[in-house]
Amino acid sequence: MWNLLFGKLTWNSLPHVWYTIGGTLTLMLMGAVAAAVLTYTKRWKWLWNEWLTSTDPKRIGIMYIIVALLMLFRGALDAIMIWMQQALSVGSSTGYLSADHFQQIFTAHGDIMVFFATMGLLVGLMNLVVPLQIGARDLAFPFLNTLGFWLYVAGAILINMFFVFGGDFAATGWLAQAPLSELQFSPGVGVDYWIWSLQVSGLGSLLAGLNFLVTILKMRAPGMTLMRMPLFVWTTLCSSILVVTVFPILAITIAMLTLDRYLGMHFFTTTNGGNPMMYINLIWMWGHPEVYILVLPSFGIFSEVVSTFSHKKLAGYTSQVLAAIFVTILSLMVWLHHFFTMGAGADVNAIFGISTMIIAIPTGVQIFNWLSTMYRGRIVLSSSLYWFLGFVATFTFGGIAGVLLASPTADYQLHNSLFLVAHFHTMIVGGALFGLFAGITYWFPKFMGFKLNEKLGKTAFWFWLTGFFLAFIPLYILGYMGATRRLDHYTNPAWQPLFIISVLGFMVILAGVTTQILQIIISIKNRKQNMDLSGDPWDARNLEWATSSPPPFYNYAVIPEVHGRDAFWEMKKEMKENPQPANVEYKDFELPKNTPFGIYLAGFALLFGFAMVWHMFLIAGIGFVGMMVCLIIRAFDEETEYILTAQEIAKLEQERKDHIYA
């Protein structure tokens, strides 16, 4: 009976070491504070009705960003623990972490940063900006959007759950490569937490990708042809195509690992004919495109930022689009460069080496396009543009390191070394994350109605840039000296000074993060001075700035017509020539109702995932049936939309105007 209900969970698995007890207490404290604040301000109902059950992409986008920032914080905590251990653990000293605990930390750091921090920020920004940029009121499938968000949250909870319910986390590295992740070598529940967390949140990402793909293809404003779309929309499209192409591979690969672990199958085992190398192939078929899923939207953000702050249209629009498409296609053909050392043979390695190096060409095209956009532009050096300039430095640097790694002969030396770790951090932090910072600074006034403090933004940028190079250049050097990744201990004392410099670099980055937190607090405090209700604080070019800041929940009372690229810029020119606005006539339109089914379904998915981790099959069954019942009830509901009538719109629009000009 105990087995059926509680599976492998016993009293002994509950938290009993300092970090899990600490984690549990912190989480409970945070929950209690949040609950107290909500009760005190009587905001429970408001939270449920206005936010948690919302289908408005602007609300969902903001929730994505909040969760992602929390996860970014969690991932940064892991990073500092890894760094401290490596700075201390040399020679006779073994540092302050056990080898096993250290392994769990670097696994969690990688997964949390990729799946929950960066992906969350990205999907959040897409939710906020894409519908506005294409002149739509919503995404194609509002229900799938809220469901995707809540599955992402469920995954985020699952990956942190071992703090509270005990057990451990996977000690396998962020991709849980077989056969290490097989039952034989990882008998605990750590890998199972990994499996179900990624499976649940991966489904959420897949739904988001599908949703954006259909939205961009089907819901553009009249006149917005594909070749008139803003670059951020283009890169979101490319990124979404990659998501729907490779996330199924991730799902099935993890599913096969699950079958191995739960049913004793032999896909990737070392016995009975299993083939662990197949796991490595399959997981990287997802893993490499994932890098481009993260970085392509950042390219789009930089295109927006550069042309806005240079007050010029983007140079080489067509080549920019083609470059993004080219990168999308190429990224699917390079996965093998992650394991040249597997020994696929010289021919295979050469083909994948060359295809990897070719990616540098479209990427270079994009960088030159941005720089030529700035050339002879009327440049305003805002903090968003600072992030772009920093990105050019880091990304070119990391890119060149990448081309070097793409050569199989060099890779045999550098494989699995800290050189590689430094390379991909340069790409993800210096590429994707800097782009996201630029994007958040750039679009913040659109959704909040006031700008962020520019001065602190620039200070934060300088901390980040210097800290970044200080933290990662030593890792490149250490890689050359032979330091492998995931070292919890080393014997060569000559490495220690470099590791210590690296930690100092991280401290400088931390100063940058603190400045950013300060920036947000001060900006909120002084919001009156930075208020912008006009909706166009930067003199920008694309459609999202054509509506007020923050936009009304229906985005546009009348869907704008697009007559060219840089649609809003064209509109502004026309306004100058012909300032008499035509009489607008409002028409009824449909909007999606809020629905709690996303949150219910994800709740059952969470229950299912958690029960599966501990082999509580009865409870897992309840979770599964719950999901099915939610789906069926939702399928029978034919009235998922409501109509906003012309009179209501006119009234809302009048109120909005009164508020803006007050």
Partner 1 sequence: MHEEKNEKTFLGFWIYLMTDLLMFAGLFAAFIVLRNNTFGGVGGSQIFNMPFVLVETLFLLTSSFTCGVALLLAHEKKLKGVIAMLCTTFLLGAGFLGMELYEFSHLFSEGHTYQKSAFLSSYFALVGTHGLHITAGLLWMLILIIFILKKGLTQGGIRKITLMSLFWHFLDIVWIFIFTIVYLMGVAL
H helices present in 332-453, as ranges = 346-358, 360-374, 383-406, 408-414, 418-427, 434-448
Stretch that binds partner 1, among 258-266, 336-344, 379-387, 467-475 (CB under 8 A): 258-266
DSSP secondary structure of 226-258: GGGS-HHHHHHHHHHHHHHHHHHHHHHHHHHHH
Provide the token pair at 470: 């200080």
Pick 142 or 439: Cβ nearer partner 1: 142
Residues 350-409 that bind partner 1 (CB under 8 A): none
We find the least distance from the C-beta atom of residue 251 to partner 1, in angstroms, to be: 6
List binders of partner 1 among 430-489 (CB under 8 A): none
> Could you tell me the two tokens for 444?
């913040």
Binding residue count for partner 1, defined by CB under 8 A: 39
528, 632, 658, 662: which one binds partner 1 (CB under 8 A): 632
**Residues 567 and 542 sit within 8 Å (Cβ to Cβ):** yes
Q: How is residue 445 written in tokens?
A: 């006034």
Segment 193-212, which members bind partner 1 (CB under 8 A)?
206, 210-211
For the CB of residue 67, give the shortest distance to partner 1 in the complex, in Å: 24
Nearer Cβ to partner 1 (282/405) = 282
Q: In this complex, which beta carbon is closest to partner 1, that of residue 214 or of residue 501? A: 214
Q: Is 453 exposed, middle or buried (0-12, 13-18, 19+ CB in 10 A)?
A: buried
Residue number with CB closer to partner 1 (285 or 433)? 285
Give the nearer residue to partner 1 in terms of CB position, either 57 or 445.
Answer: 57
Record the tokens describing residue 188, joined without a space.
């605990």
Report, in Å, the least distance between residue 171 CB and partner 1.
Answer: 25
The closest of 176, 350, 209 to 279, measured between CA atoms, is 176
Please give the single-letter amino acid code of residue 397: F
Which residue stretch of 21-29, 121-129, 273-281, 574-582 sits at the interface with partner 1 (rule: CB under 8 A)? 273-281
Beta-carbon contacts of 217 under 8 Å, excluding residues fewer than 6 positions away, are: 237
Residue from 14, 21, 70, 251 in contact with partner 1 (CB under 8 A): 251
Residue 328 token pair: 């999308």
Q: For the purposes of burial, counting CB atoms within 10 Å of the CB of 220, is it exposed (0-12), middle (13-18) or buried (19 or more)?
A: buried
In this structure, are residues 505 and 467 in contact, taking their beta carbons and an 8 Å threshold?
yes
Is 253 a residue that touches partner 1 (CB under 8 A)? yes
Q: At what angle do helices 231-263 and 119-133 cross, to 10 degrees?
A: 140
98-134 burial, b at 16+ Cβ within 10 Å, e below that, comes to eeebbbbbbbbbbbbbbbbbbbbbbbbbbbbbbbbbb
Q: Which of 246, 241, 245, 63 is nearest to 156 (CA)?
A: 63
**Shortest distance (Å) from residue 425 CB to partner 1:** 29
Is residue 84 a contact point for partner 1 (CB under 8 A)? Answer: no
CA 560 to CA 645: how far, in whole Å?
18
Q: Is 638 in the site for partner 1 (CB under 8 A)?
A: yes
* C-alpha angle 618-178-204 in degrees, rounded to nearest 5: 55
Instruction: Please identify, using beta-carbon distances, which residue of 100 and 588 lies nearer to partner 1.
Output: 588
Q: d(Cα 60, Cα 55) in Å, to the nearest integer?
A: 7
Among 266, 313, 615, 634, binds partner 1 (CB under 8 A): 266
Nearer to partner 1, 272 or 580 (CB): 272
Question: For partner 1, which is the closer residue by CB, 91 or 248?
Answer: 248
Options 22, 31, 187, 264; binder of partner 1; rule CB under 8 A: 264
Q: Judge whether 8 and 157 are in contact, CB under 8 Å.
A: no
Structure-derived torsion over alpha carbons of residues 162, 168, 169, 172, reported in degrees to the nearest 10: -170
CB of 112 to partner 1, least distance (A): 25
Closer residue to partner 1, CB minimum distance, 260 or 536: 260
Q: Which of 274, 449, 505, 603 binds partner 1 (CB under 8 A)?
A: 274
- Stretch near partner 1 under the rule CB under 8 A, chosen from 35-43, 112-120, 246-254, 387-395: 246-254
Please state the closest distance from residue 72 (CB atom) to partner 1, in A.
28
Among 141, 185, 554, 617, binds partner 1 (CB under 8 A): 141
Binders in 583-602 for partner 1, by CB under 8 A: 590
Q: Which is nearer to partner 1, 248 or 497 (CB)?
A: 248
Q: Is 245 a binder of partner 1 (CB under 8 A)?
A: yes
Residues that bind partner 1 (CB under 8 A): 140-141, 206, 210-211, 213-214, 217-219, 244-245, 247-249, 251-253, 256, 259-260, 263-267, 269, 271-275, 278, 282, 590, 632, 635-636, 638
